């Protein structure tokens, strides 16, 4: 199969040849560089590539061209190669038009002319976009096949694992393909044990553990050294940011991740408000970039490796792992996050992030402009969510299990006087309506009268509490009554050190009640459940950890 193409378009022959030369030098080994001197000839080339069943990875076009502007060309090309990255080569005068095109999702980036030196002004941007393209494009291939069903949580877990590690696979739905179903049953003793993973080398794994998949895929699951300066538990945004800052400061660090990097953020289809990404990025893309960055600085990241506990040994900290092994280190950073309590309703899993959202889904609100939505829960987070959503939605119906709300007075008053918000008390969600990927309504039950009714709506935002994943520190460090880890000033009681604190200094910011054990992100008391917060706490914690390591 031919290499993917990078198309470069400019009506100025001198510029066209210069860009082509620079692109060929850097990307010529992996991509075919195709050049065109006008929008029309570019479109001809695009149609020819399409006819030959070849792919375009990236368009790099001048904006000001006679007959057809760069943006007009990109708009047409997008219909043929929707996944290709689109970059405009602009003069300063065109930056406004480029920025507004980013907002309309027509453009991935704009570059200013001249781009010399290309090592600084051209290659880094294009490399990143091409890496993105490779990670998201689904090439036809003879690779791993995963046979499963949409209703099987284990199938989702396995798909998620492959997706988060950018391992391409083909999905086979046993409910849609009799042949696949028969194949699966024959591999699992006549039963439907899902999922079944077929590897090109003939290996077949039935209901595999994530660890089996990681090992089979050649991902590191065992630490390469017995001792580290820092062990980070959890590879969500908090853990990954910590790894980047630690490794870049020369701290030898190991990251342990129970599943695959990304954490809860990996479930977010689009994080719109993360600094530096004007057209948003998915949680998975963020994780992939962070993993690459952390590894580039020398951090070691293990997948499918759970920490089960932490104990103290003199000045050292020992992290115990599920496989029974132990890792010695000077400091530990807990970034194990929280898991949002889930609603157990048939069919809901297929709607997650496509009409059903857990926790901090504020970024989705604008998509539901003038449409009715639901909020599940009666505490502060649900109330705040409902208030926020009422700015966009035509109506917000709150479904509250109890006969009253358990949130701040001001919020209860605000909810009561908001004309767009209706609160249904003693009401539980018992069903979801719609197709996978498209919520159309819900069924609710009044838990006093037992009356059921169907309500139409486009989205359901669930705020029924988050559970911190702090079990591995239970009994070792101070937690609040809900299990969130207390750190820094939150540990101090009436200005005094926490009970048992052995040092004559205050705990560092983000340090727990045990010196040398730190916590960041959703697992920590007082955080606000945001990607950016977890990531920035990671950076702050590393500064404190450096002080701690220097004090040893």
Ligand X SMILES: Cc1cc2nc3c(=O)[nH]c(=O)nc-3n(C[C@H](O)[C@H](O)[C@H](O)COP(=O)(O)OP(=O)(O)OC[C@H]3O[C@@H](n4cnc5c(N)ncnc54)[C@H](O)[C@@H]3O)c2cc1C
CA distance 323 to 44: 58
HSE-CB of 47 using CA atoms within 13 angstroms: 7
Q: Identify which range of 132-140, 182-190, 254-262, 508-516 contacts ligand X by CB under 6 A.
A: 254-262
Contacting ligand X (CB under 6 A), which of 303, 336, 487, 513?
Answer: 336
Q: Which residues pair with 89 in a beta bridge?
A: 62, 111
Q: Can residue 534 be called a binding residue for ligand X (CB under 6 A)?
A: yes
Q: Can residue 257 be called a binding residue for ligand X (CB under 6 A)?
A: yes
CA distance 214 to 305: 10
Burial environment of residue 160 by CB neighbours within 10 A (0 to 12, 13 to 18, 19 or more)? middle
- Residue 329 gets the label, from left (phi > 0), alpha (psi -120 to 50) or beta, of beta
Contacting ligand X (CB under 6 A), which of 61, 90, 101, 259?
Answer: 259
Taking the complex as a whole, the smallest distance from the CB of residue 193 to ligand X amounts, in Å, to 24
**Hey, how many other C-beta atoms are within 10 angstroms of the C-beta on 520?**
33
- Beta-strand ranges (E) seen in 315-418 are 316-321, 326-334, 338-340, 356-358, 372-376, 395-399
Contacting ligand X (CB under 6 A), which of 271, 284, 327, 485?
Answer: 271
Would you list the DSSP string of 292-319? HHHHHTT-EEESS--EEEEEEETTEEEE
Q: Identify which range of 191-199, 212-220, 331-339, 439-447 contacts ligand X by CB under 6 A.
A: 331-339
User: Which positions from 138 through 177 interact with ligand X, judged by CB under 6 A?
Assistant: none
**Hey, how many other C-beta atoms are within 10 angstroms of the C-beta on 456?**
12
Q: Identify which range of 173-181, 200-208, 267-275, 447-455 contacts ligand X by CB under 6 A.
A: 267-275
Q: Are 31 and 4 in contact (CB under 8 A)?
A: yes
**Hey, how many other C-beta atoms are within 10 angstroms of the C-beta on 137?**
13
Nearer to ligand X, 33 or 519 (CB): 519
Q: Can residue 521 be called a binding residue for ligand X (CB under 6 A)?
A: yes
The residue among 256, 269, 260, 255 whose CA lies nearest residue 159 is: 260
Nearer to ligand X, 101 or 303 (CB): 303
Contacting ligand X (CB under 6 A), which of 236, 355, 434, 507?
Answer: 236
Q: Are 461 and 389 in contact (CB under 8 A)?
A: yes
Nearer to ligand X, 118 or 355 (CB): 355
Which residues have a Cβ under 8 Å from the Cβ of 128 and sit 6 or more positions away?
289
Q: Are 487 and 544 in contact (CB under 8 A)?
A: no
- Residue 382 gets the label, from left (phi > 0), alpha (psi -120 to 50) or beta, of alpha
| CA distance readout (Å), 341 to 191, 359, 424, 461, 545 | 31, 9, 20, 12, 32
Taking the complex as a whole, the smallest distance from the CB of residue 534 to ligand X amounts, in Å, to 3
Q: Can residue 340 be called a binding residue for ligand X (CB under 6 A)?
A: yes
Contacting ligand X (CB under 6 A), which of 11, 62, 522, 546?
Answer: 522
Q: Are 392 and 366 in contact (CB under 8 A)?
A: yes
Nearer to ligand X, 4 or 337 (CB): 337
The residue among 113, 88, 118, 109 whose CA lies nearest residue 21 is: 118
Contacting ligand X (CB under 6 A), which of 420, 506, 529, 543?
Answer: 529
Q: Can residue 256 be called a binding residue for ligand X (CB under 6 A)?
A: yes
Q: Can residue 210 be called a binding residue for ligand X (CB under 6 A)?
A: no
Q: Can residue 235 be called a binding residue for ligand X (CB under 6 A)?
A: yes
Taking the complex as a whole, the smallest distance from the CB of residue 541 to ligand X amounts, in Å, to 11
Q: Can residue 237 be called a binding residue for ligand X (CB under 6 A)?
A: yes
Q: Can residue 70 be called a binding residue for ligand X (CB under 6 A)?
A: no
Nearer to ligand X, 157 or 440 (CB): 157
Give the helix/strand (H/E) hosting 239: helix 237-248
Q: Can residue 286 be called a binding residue for ligand X (CB under 6 A)?
A: no
The residue among 334, 361, 386 whose CA lies nearest residue 538 is: 334
Q: Can residue 234 be called a binding residue for ligand X (CB under 6 A)?
A: yes
Q: Identify which range of 43-51, 143-151, 210-218, 250-258 contacts ligand X by CB under 6 A.
A: 250-258
Q: Can residue 238 be called a binding residue for ligand X (CB under 6 A)?
A: yes
Site residue total, ligand X (CB under 6 A): 40
Nearer to ligand X, 73 or 460 (CB): 460
Return the DSSP state at 473.
G
CA distance 256 to 274: 25
Q: Identify which range of 99-107, 160-168, 173-181, 236-244 contacts ligand X by CB under 6 A.
A: 236-244
Binding-residue pattern over the window 343 to 382 for ligand X, x denoting contact by CB under 6 A: ----------x---xxxxx-x-------------------
Taking the complex as a whole, the smallest distance from the CB of residue 323 to ligand X amounts, in Å, to 12
Nearer to ligand X, 111 or 532 (CB): 532
Q: Identify which range of 8-16, 62-70, 251-259, 490-498 contacts ligand X by CB under 6 A.
A: 251-259
CA distance 162 to 159: 5
Nearer to ligand X, 39 or 234 (CB): 234
Binding-residue pattern over the window 295 to 324 for ligand X, x denoting contact by CB under 6 A: -----------xx-----------------
Residues that bind ligand X (CB under 6 A): 233-239, 256-259, 263-265, 267-268, 271, 306-307, 335-338, 340, 353, 357-361, 363, 469, 472, 521-522, 529-532, 534
């Amino acid at each position: 199969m031919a290499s993917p193409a990078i198309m470069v378009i400019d009506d100025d022959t001198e510029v066209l040849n210069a860009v082509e030369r620079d692109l060929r030098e850097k990307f010529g080994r992996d991509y075919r560089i195709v050049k065109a001197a006008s929008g029309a000839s570019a479109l001809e080339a695009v149609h020819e590539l399409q006819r030959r069943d070849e792919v375009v990875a990236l368009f790099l076009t001048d904006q000001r061209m006679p007959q057809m502007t760069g943006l007009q060309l990109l708009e047409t090309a997008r219909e043929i190669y929707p996944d290709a990255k689109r970059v405009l080569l602009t003069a300063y005068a065109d930056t406004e038009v480029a920025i507004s095109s980013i907002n309309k999702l027509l453009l991935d980036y704009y570059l200013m002319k001249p781009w010399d030196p290309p090592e600084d002004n051209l290659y880094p941007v294009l490399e990143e976009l091409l890496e993105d393209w490779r990670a998201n494009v689904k090439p036809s291939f003879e690779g791993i096949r995963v046979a499963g069903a949409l209703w099987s949580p284990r199938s989702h877990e396995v798909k998620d694992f492959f997706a988060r590690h950018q391992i391409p696979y083909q999905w086979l739905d046993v409910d849609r393909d009799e042949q696949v179903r028969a194949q699966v049953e024959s591999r699992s003793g006549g039963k439907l044990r899902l999922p079944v993973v077929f590897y090109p080398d003939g290996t077949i794994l039935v209901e595999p553990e994530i660890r089996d998949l990681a090992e089979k895929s050649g991902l590191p699951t065992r630490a390469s050294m017995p001792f580290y300066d820092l062990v980070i538990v959890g590879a969500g945004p908090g853990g990954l940011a910590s790894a980047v800052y630690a490794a870049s400061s020369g701290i030898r660090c190991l990251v342990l991740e129970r599943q695959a990097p990304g954490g809860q953020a990996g479930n977010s289809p689009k994080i719109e408000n993360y600094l530096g990404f004007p057209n948003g990025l998915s949680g998975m893309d963020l994780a992939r970039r962070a993993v690459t960055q952390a590894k580039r600085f020398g951090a070691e990241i293990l997948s499918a490796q759970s920490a089960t506990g932490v104990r103290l040994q003199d000045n050292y900290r020992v992290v115990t792992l599920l496989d029974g092994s132990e890792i010695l280190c000077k400091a530990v950073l807990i970034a194990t996050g929280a898991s949002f309590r889930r609603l157990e309703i048939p069919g809901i899993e297929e709607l997650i992030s496509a009409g059903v959202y857990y926790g901090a889904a504020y970024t989705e609100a604008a998509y539901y402009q003038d449409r009715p939505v639901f909020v599940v829960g009666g505490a502060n987070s649900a109330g705040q969510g409902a208030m926020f959503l009422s700015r966009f939605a035509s109506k917000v119906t709150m479904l509250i299990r109890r006969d009253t709300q358990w949130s701040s007075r001001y919020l209860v008053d605000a909810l009561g006087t908001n004309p767009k918000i209706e609160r249904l008390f003693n009401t539980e969600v018992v069903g979801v309506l719609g197709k996978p990927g498209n919520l159309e309504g819900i069924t609710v039950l009044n838990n006093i009268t037992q009356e059921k009714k169907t309500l139409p709506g486009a989205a359901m935002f669930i705020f029924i509490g988050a559970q911190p994943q702090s079990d591995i520190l239970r009994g070792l460090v101070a937690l609040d009554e809900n299990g969130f880890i207390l750190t820094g000033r939150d540990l101090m009681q009436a200005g005094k050190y926490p009970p048992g604190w052995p040092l004559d200094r205050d705990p560092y910011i983000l340090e727990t009640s045990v010196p040398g054990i730190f916590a960041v992100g959703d697992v920590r008391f007082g955080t606000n459940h945001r990607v950016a917060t977890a990531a920035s706490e990671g950076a702050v914690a590393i500064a404190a950890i450096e002080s701690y390591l220097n004090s040893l």
